[in-house]
Amino acid sequence: MAIDWNRRTCARKGHVTYAPDDPRLRIRLHGDTALGEVWRCLRCGDFVLGEPQGSGPTAQAPLVPRGKVLRDLLVLRFLAFERAVRGVFIVLVAVAVWKFSNSQDAVHRLFDEYLDVFRPVFQHFHYDLDHSPVVGTIQKAFGYRRSTLLTVAGLLLAYALIEIVEAVGLWWAKRWAEYLTVVATAAFLPLEVYELTEHVSAVKIGTLVLNILAVLYIAVTKRLFGLRGGRRAFDEERRSDSLLEVEEKAGALV
């Protein structure tokens, strides 16, 4: 089923009307009804009752993203949101690692005390805490050197920063952000595959699939790296999709 992105966006953000100076174009966008004057929305093409929101030279008309361009914009916003959430989460993990590196000994003592308290309880349920993999992992963390932990915190922070910069740039549909996302995401793919060979989880598989799709989707639809005609073809597609352009061409034929 095809989704009408234009109408959906108009329902959410309202219509966009504009009265161009060019009378031949003006007449194609304007109408008079018993209820008053109507202007065509530059996004969904519907006639909207009332004064136009703006007027002036055709060249200064707002370039309203429509159809496929609009859909791509919404997909980018979803990716931006996903990256922002991931970025903030990783910042929190980095802060936790950094805090842990500062009070490693104190946390270690606390952990051992808790272990002593809970050992009999777990023993009652025939669970051997001293040989549990979770406890083993935590105890291994206490063995890490402070410098190692700080390096890990620093790397996590750097990674989070990349994700957040991507999120901001993608939200505003910046071309540099699309390049950054494709390059940085593709660069981490081998690491994600390696992670899967160590331990398989649904979240890891989901992230990997999403990242592969994101790289392909952005590179192809945004025509990065000269794909499908590159930048020039992308700008051309964007312009030729605008309602004014469509109407102008139709007007030229008449």
Q: Summarize as ranges the residues that interact with Zn ion (CB under 5 A).
A: 10, 15, 41, 43-44
- CB 45 to Zn ion: min, Å: 7
Closest approach of Zn ion to the CB of residue 46, in Å: 5
115 and 134 Cβ atoms separated by less than 8 Å: no
Number of neighbouring beta carbons within 10 Å of residue 50: 12
Minimum distance from CB of 53 to Zn ion (Å)? 11
Integer Cα distance of 68 and 25 in angstroms: 24
> What does the chain come to in residues?
254
Q: Which is nearer to Zn ion, 44 or 218 (CB)?
A: 44
Instruction: Give least dist CB 13 to Zn ion, A.
Output: 9
Q: How far does Cα 122 stand from its chain's mean position? A: 44
Residue nearer to Zn ion on the CB measure, 17 or 181: 17
Nearer CB in complex with Zn ion: 44/79: 44
Nearer to Zn ion, 5 or 100 (CB): 5
**Minimum CB distance to Zn ion, residue 173 (Å):** 20
Least Cα distance to 13 among 51, 50, 53, 72 occurs for: 53
The minimum distance between CB 172 and Zn ion, in angstroms, equals 22
Could you give the CA distance from residue 237 to residue 254 in angstroms, rounded to a whole number?
23
Nearer residue to Zn ion within complex by CB, 48 or 177? 48
Cβ contacts of 173-179, under 8 Å, gap ≥ 24: 173/73, 173/76, 175/222, 175/231, 178/76, 178/218, 178/222, 178/224, 179/224
3-state helix/strand/coil string of 172-227 = CCCHHHHHHHHHHHHHHHHHHHHHHHHCCCHHHHHHHHHHHHHHHHHHHHCCHHHH
Q: Is 196 exposed, middle or buried (0-12, 13-18, 19+ CB in 10 A)?
A: middle
Indicate the residue among 66 and 83 with the shorter CB distance to Zn ion. 66
Q: Which is nearer to Zn ion, 195 or 245 (CB)?
A: 245
CB of 10 to Zn ion, least distance (A): 3
